[in-house]
Amino acid sequence: MSSLLPTPKTLKQQALKIWQRADIHRAWLQKNNYFPLEIPLKNIPAKDLLSNFTEVQDAIYLLRQDSKKHDYLISDKLVTHRQLGEQKIPSVIIFKTEAVFLDYVAKSAEFIQFKKLTQRTLQQDVLLLDWVNRYPFKIMKHADVWLQLLKVCDYFKNQPQPDCYIRQLNIEGVDSKFIEQHKGILNELLTQSLDETNYDKEITGLSHHGFERRYSLRYDQSLIRLRILDTKLAIHGLTDLTLTISEFKQLNIALKTVFIAENKVNGLAFPDYPEAIVIFGLGYAVDLLDKANCLQGKELYYWGDLDTHGFAILSRLRHYFPQAKSMLMDQTTLELFADLCVPEPKKSSEQGELSHLTRDENILYKQLQKSLCRLEQERIGFNYLQQYLSEISGDFSFMH
């Protein structure tokens, strides 16, 4: 029976799907008249009408009772059947007004609240109209805190790029925890509300304090650990330094070469090298090095594990610094230390395409994707590292 005519339950489900499309919200925003709303019903073939006559009559009765209860209308189509004669069959369900429909789907109070919050939103900032039109249900998802979200947007519009910690923002009725807990929706709203000159549109994610960096807020910065490998470049005698990201990006010493090593102990034990530093322990956080002036135009070497993740990090680094070269991440090194390799778990391996590898690196990467072989960099002999450094520097004193 349900395949011939909707039951009250399935009709309610259809109506709720219409509500969930948000067409009613958008019509109201655009001042268009969405009602009367018609839901056409399927035609019933003559043979089905005859073979299921009793069931069809029961379904029609239930619909008519439901329409009386909820005030929607049923438009009938007169069907002349050879054996059954003339029959009135429901062909269209009609919700004549917005009020009838909203009452039927039990959304009257929610829609009233949507209107109030939207009116308040557009009174403050008409630039948010396009966003509200695209995501009307996001207002209702955050209805309980929406006015506070608007206060934050208003603050940033009047005082963009505040250059202070979230804790220092003086917004009436809004504390620092509120902003911390609602960065996702605030990022969407601020992107619509602020002029593009008042935020960094290149920062799109929220990881690594993306919200703070995008809107010029201060934050507890990640730290960069490095060693100066040439004592002539020591800073007041210091060669082992831990700097904030912003301090590191402003580092101004006479560098020619920068090594990046994933393993901490390898970084600590890294041999001296003229006019060079070694950075270590970053992993996938190499993204933090983006726009570091001290790396621009320098010889840059990346030394990671010889596994799928090592090449993924190399590719990511090379996205920011195309001059970066891989170090001890080649077929020869893999074969030389093959007896020290361990398995890489397939579940956590990197299996995607990488865009910033050389031809040879990409061949080895694909080989490692299949073999799931891993040569951790700390398993490579120290003498082998010294030999490599002597070859790229032309100084064979590394071996003595």
Give the pLDDT confidence score for residue 400 in this predicted structure: 47
Q: Strand 240-244 relative to strand 85-95: parallel, antiparallel, unpaired?
A: unpaired
Residues 281 and 147 in one domain: no
pLDDT tens per residue across span 229-270: 999 999 999 999 999 988 998 898 999 999 999 999 999 999
From residue 72, how far is each of 16, 103, 247, 329, 386 by CA, in Å? Answer: 15, 10, 68, 71, 84
Residue from 350, 266, 359, 362 nearest 308 by CA: 350
Residues 54 and 127 in one domain: no
Give the pLDDT confidence score for residue 364 in this predicted structure: 97
Contact 78, 88 (CB under 8 A): yes
Question: In this structure, is residue 1 part of a structural domain?
Answer: no
CA distance 385 to 390: 9
Contact 216, 162 (CB under 8 A): yes
Residues 130 and 148 in one domain: yes
The last residue of one of the domains, among 214, 249, 275, is 214
Q: Is the pLDDT of residue 23 over 90?
A: yes
Give the pLDDT confidence score for residue 246 in this predicted structure: 86
Residues 366 and 380 in one domain: yes
Residues 128 and 257 in one domain: no
Residues 249 and 210 in one domain: no
The last residue of one of the domains, among 106, 122, 142, is 106
Give the pair of three-digit tokens for residue 242: 């831990």
Name the E strands within 186-311.
223-228, 240-244, 257-261, 276-280, 299-303
Q: Is the pLDDT of residue 47 over 70?
A: no
Give the pLDDT confidence score for residue 287 in this predicted structure: 85
> Sorting pLDDT into bands at 50, 70 and 90, what band is 55?
confident
Contact 349, 372 (CB under 8 A): yes
Alpha helices in 256-381 (DSSP H): 264-269, 308-320, 331-336, 359-371
Question: In this structure, is residue 2 part of a structural domain?
Answer: no
Query: What kind and span of H or E run contains 191?
Result: helix 183-193
CA distance 268 to 259: 12
pLDDT tens per residue across span 363-378: 999 999 999 999 999 9
Give the pLDDT confidence score for residue 58 in this predicted structure: 84
CA distance 21 to 380: 59
CA distance 335 to 134: 55
Give the pair of three-digit tokens for residue 5: 């005519």
Question: In this structure, is residue 79 part of a structural domain?
Answer: yes
pLDDT tens per residue across span 154-187: 999 999 999 999 999 999 999 989 999 999 999 9
The last residue of one of the domains, among 76, 106, 136, is 106
Q: Is the pLDDT of residue 44 over 70?
A: yes
Residues 12 and 87 in one domain: yes
Question: In this structure, is residue 102 part of a structural domain?
Answer: yes
- Please, what is the Cα angle at 362 between 390 and 282, to 5 degrees? 60
Question: In this structure, is residue 387 part of a structural domain?
Answer: yes
Give the pLDDT confidence score for residue 4 in this predicted structure: 72
pLDDT tens per residue across span 101-143: 999 999 999 999 999 999 999 999 999 999 999 999 999 999 9
Cα-Cα-Cα-Cα dihedral sign, residues 17, 22, 25, 29: negative
Q: pLDDT averaged over the chain?
A: 91
CA distance 261 to 377: 9
Give the pLDDT confidence score for residue 282 in this predicted structure: 87
Give the pLDDT confidence score for residue 77 in this predicted structure: 82
The domain that contains 358 carries what CATH number? 3.40.1360.10
Can you tell me the mean pLDDT for 307-327? 95
CA distance 133 to 319: 36
Domain that holds residue 156: 109-214
Contact 215, 156 (CB under 8 A): yes
- Please, what is the Cα angle at 50 between 45 and 56, to 5 degrees? 80
Question: Alpha carbon 132 to chain centroid distance?
Answer: 20
Residue from 362, 304, 355 nearest 333 by CA: 304
Residues 337 and 376 in one domain: yes
Residues 352 and 258 in one domain: yes
Residues 86 and 138 in one domain: no
pLDDT tens per residue across span 329-347: 999 999 999 999 999 999 9
Q: Is the pLDDT of residue 30 over 50?
A: yes
Lowest-confidence pick of 159-163, 248-252, 306-310, 352-356 = 248-252
Q: Is the pLDDT of residue 35 over 70?
A: yes
Give the pLDDT confidence score for residue 344 in this predicted structure: 95
Residues 251 and 361 in one domain: yes
Residues 234 and 296 in one domain: yes
Number of domains present in the structure of the chain: 3
Question: In this structure, is residue 230 part of a structural domain?
Answer: yes
317 by Cβ neighbours in 10 Å (0-12 / 13-18 / 19+) ranks as buried
Give the pLDDT confidence score for residue 221 in this predicted structure: 85
Residue from 126, 186, 129, 114 nearest 156 by CA: 186
Residue from 331, 324, 273 nearest 303 by CA: 324
The b/e string for 347-358 (b: 16+ C-beta within 10 A; e otherwise) is: eebbeeebebbe
Question: In this structure, is residue 3 part of a structural domain?
Answer: no
Query: Of 34-43, 293-302, 325-334, which one has max mean pLDDT?
Result: 325-334
Question: In this structure, is residue 63 part of a structural domain?
Answer: yes
Give the pLDDT confidence score for residue 1 in this predicted structure: 41
Give the pLDDT confidence score for residue 85 in this predicted structure: 57
Contact 135, 168 (CB under 8 A): no
